[in-house]
A and B are shown apart, each in its own frame.
Chain A
């Protein structure tokens, strides 16, 4: 599997005042990998995601995405480079319909300009029809097409989570970043999600990095795992290696007395 380096994080740190939320982290993710990022509460996982997606700028270090430096780029520009994310606390467009939520993510691929829409030039109708079609396609994958006209905030929790993934996928990313996708799901939903994530990776030939608390999910689905603790990367490797790593056990279960 000699594949190209997609995400290259070099010695990245982020400080909030006196607190080093992330310090000296190195991560390399290749095309087509399915990688997990785990760690106890407050380990800096979400901060790390925010660094990748441009919400925060690193205090130190460099991040390269597909060969481009992420530094100085705004979140929407990084998304255009091909990194789409979901959020730990769901951030849907609550008052929009399910389909519209997905169509918004497809916006940056829309071919009709503001003025085309303003004057209702022919390109507008074709563009909008294309977006609808693409949107429904993505909803079908997540079995949400039956609810396309429902208001997003009225969906049950599990479906809101799925819609968020559908929305991120509609942005046609190279790298899909999932922030605790199974949070609040029951074991059966989690298992289904696991299969879905793997299927998405194979079907769309994308790379997935997921943050997760649920060890079952991470161990079952990820090929490679990074472990963060107190802002530092304490281990990385295959699920088996991680399971046997004494540092990881210590971080999760505490030190033997």
Chain B
């Protein structure tokens, strides 16, 4: 029942993957550009998963770096101290982050708006301070010597999986239930939707993929430290989502790519970097207040005819 469009996207994805992989193995693009590609991929996973919570379900969470750090630390510990295979370690990190999401989500998701934002912000900081004060993970100096396993292939595959999963959720009755909660929580509940259940599902799925991004991050940069996952990181992910367009997966992917590129290019001009970065944000918000692709219905497919399969990939 999968439609033509899906295979077209899949094909385009493979071609794109192949070209980049060819460029990397042929050493036609230098190391720093590969770094940028990997960072973009990790950021896309983070932003797309946060978008499920903030954009589609309408719950304002700003603790995403906290979940990312759980994935990073757990995956790193599993490969370093337990010598588990990379995919198993990654999965372990994801599950740990998802469990944390469940643990945090159940009590805090009864909060709304600003209050939820403050609670999730607090959670992110608590996690960071836990790492900082745990000797097992070397406190402030962090974990060193993590094997570099993450590469273009891993990143591309997992970005694709993330986008597929999020799109599969969003383009189904379960995703519509989440969007209905964003649109009007009281009406959603009186239409028979278990509001708490869907908020928690969004939170757990979002945390799961944040954990995935964390695991990839840890196995690319050799070293992880508590400071890599501070409030600024959460904020950065939030900016990707808002700038790309809340509730639009395509927009969020586009926003993440653009902002990561701008930020990387500006590293050569440290004096004015933050000024230009801020100006870009301000200009986008003035000319596209709902984000780059926000308010265009991007991400959720406009369904026409009897076709109800909604799977899109773009990476």
Interface residues in A125-162 (C-beta closer than 8 Å to B): 125, 127-129, 131-132, 149
* A 67-104 to B, binary, CB cutoff 8 A, 1 in contact else 0: 00000001110011000110100011111100010011
Interface residues in B160-205 (C-beta closer than 8 Å to A): 165, 168-169, 172-177, 179-180, 183-184, 186-195, 201
Residue of chain A at shortest CB distance from B191: A105
Q: Is the CB of A95 within 8 A of B176?
A: no
CA distance A100 to B306 in the complex (A): 14
CA distance A96 to B176 in the complex (A): 9
Q: Is the CB of B177 within 8 A of A107?
A: yes
What is the distance, in angstroms, from A242's C-beta to the closest C-beta of chain B?
A: 29
Q: Is the CB of A96 within 8 A of B190?
A: no
- Given A92-B183, A105-B192, A132-B306: 16 more A-B contacts, CB < 8 Å: A74-B189, A76-B190, A76-B192, A84-B190, A87-B187, A93-B180, A93-B183, A95-B183, A96-B179, A104-B193, A107-B176, A107-B192, A108-B192, A112-B173, A118-B165, A129-B306
Option from B1, B168, B183, B308 in Cβ contact (under 8 Å) with A96: B183
Option from B1, B174, B190, B302 in Cβ contact (under 8 Å) with A79: B190
Option from B177, B302, B306 in Cβ contact (under 8 Å) with A104: B177
Binding site secondary structure of chain B = helix
Q: Is the CB of B308 within 8 A of A129?
A: yes
For chain A, the bracket of interface size reads: 35 or more
Enumerate chain B residues within 8 angstroms of A106, measured Cβ to Cβ.
173
Q: B309 interface residue, CB < 8 Å from A? A: yes
Option from B168, B193, B311 in Cβ contact (under 8 Å) with A107: B193
Q: B4 interface residue, CB < 8 Å from A? A: no
- List A residues at the B interface (Cβ < 8 Å): 53, 55, 74-76, 79-80, 84-85, 87, 91-96, 100, 103-108, 110, 112, 114, 117-120, 122, 124-125, 127-129, 131-132, 149, 167-168, 171
- List B residues at the A interface (Cβ < 8 Å): 1-2, 165, 168-169, 172-177, 179-180, 183-184, 186-195, 201, 302-304, 306, 308-309, 311
Enumerate chain A residues within 8 angstroms of B188, measured Cβ to Cβ.
93, 104
What is the distance, in angstroms, from A195's C-beta to the closest C-beta of chain B?
A: 25
Enumerate chain A residues within 8 angstroms of B302, measured Cβ to Cβ.
149
What is the distance, in angstroms, from B161's C-beta to the closest C-beta of chain A?
A: 11
Q: Is the CB of B183 within 8 A of A114?
A: no
Q: Is the CB of A117 within 8 A of B191?
A: no
Enumerate chain A residues within 8 angstroms of B187, measured Cβ to Cβ.
87, 91-93
Which 7 pairs show the lowest CB-CB distances between chains A and B?
A117-B172, A108-B192, A93-B183, A128-B308, A79-B192, A91-B187, A104-B180
Q: Is the CB of B176 within 8 A of A85?
A: no
Can you report 29 residue pairs joining A to B where beta carbons are below 8 Å apart? Answer: A74-B194, A75-B190, A76-B191, A76-B193, A76-B194, A76-B195, A79-B192, A91-B186, A92-B183, A92-B187, A93-B188, A95-B179, A96-B176, A96-B179, A104-B173, A104-B176, A104-B188, A104-B193, A107-B173, A107-B177, A108-B192, A110-B173, A112-B172, A117-B175, A119-B168, A120-B309, A125-B309, A127-B173, A129-B308
What is the distance, in angstroms, from A176's C-beta to the closest C-beta of chain B?
A: 12
Q: Is the CB of B173 within 8 A of A131?
A: yes
What is the distance, in angstroms, from A137's C-beta to the closest C-beta of chain B?
A: 14
Enumerate chain B residues within 8 angstroms of A132, measured Cβ to Cβ.
303, 306, 308
Enumerate chain B residues within 8 angstroms of A118, measured Cβ to Cβ.
165, 168-169
CA distance A96 to B297 in the complex (A): 9
Enumerate chain B residues within 8 angstroms of A171, measured Cβ to Cβ.
191-192
CA distance A100 to B170 in the complex (A): 12
Residue of chain B at shortest CB distance from A151: B297
Enumerate chain A residues within 8 angstroms of B179, measured Cβ to Cβ.
93, 95-96, 100
Enumerate chain A residues within 8 angstroms of B175, measured Cβ to Cβ.
117
Contacts A75-B190, A79-B190, A93-B187 hold; do A125 and B1 have CB atoms under 8 A apart?
yes
What is the distance, in angstroms, from B55's C-beta to the closest C-beta of chain A?
A: 11
What is the distance, in angstroms, from B2's C-beta to the closest C-beta of chain A?
A: 8
Enumerate chain B residues within 8 angstroms of A55, measured Cβ to Cβ.
186, 190
Contacts A79-B192, A120-B168, A125-B308 hold; do A103 and B184 have CB atoms under 8 A apart?
no
Enumerate chain A residues within 8 angstroms of B201, measured Cβ to Cβ.
114
CA distance A143 to B236 in the complex (A): 47
CA distance A18 to B153 in the complex (A): 67
CA distance A114 to B192 in the complex (A): 16
Option from B168, B184, B303 in Cβ contact (under 8 Å) with A92: B184
Enumerate chain B residues within 8 angstroms of A92, measured Cβ to Cβ.
183-184, 187
Contacts A79-B192, A171-B191 hold; do A117 and B183 have CB atoms under 8 A apart?
no
CA distance A74 to B303 in the complex (A): 32
Q: Is the CB of B174 within 8 A of A120?
A: no
What is the distance, in angstroms, from B162's C-beta to the closest C-beta of chain A?
A: 12
Enumerate chain A residues within 8 angstroms of B168, measured Cβ to Cβ.
117-120
CA distance A50 to B303 in the complex (A): 35
CA distance A117 to B179 in the complex (A): 16
Contacts A118-B168, A125-B309 hold; do A100 and B189 have CB atoms under 8 A apart?
no
Enumerate chain B residues within 8 angstroms of A53, measured Cβ to Cβ.
190
Enumerate chain A residues within 8 angstroms of B304, measured Cβ to Cβ.
149
What is the distance, in angstroms, from B202's C-beta to the closest C-beta of chain A?
A: 11
Residue of chain A at shortest CB distance from B175: A117
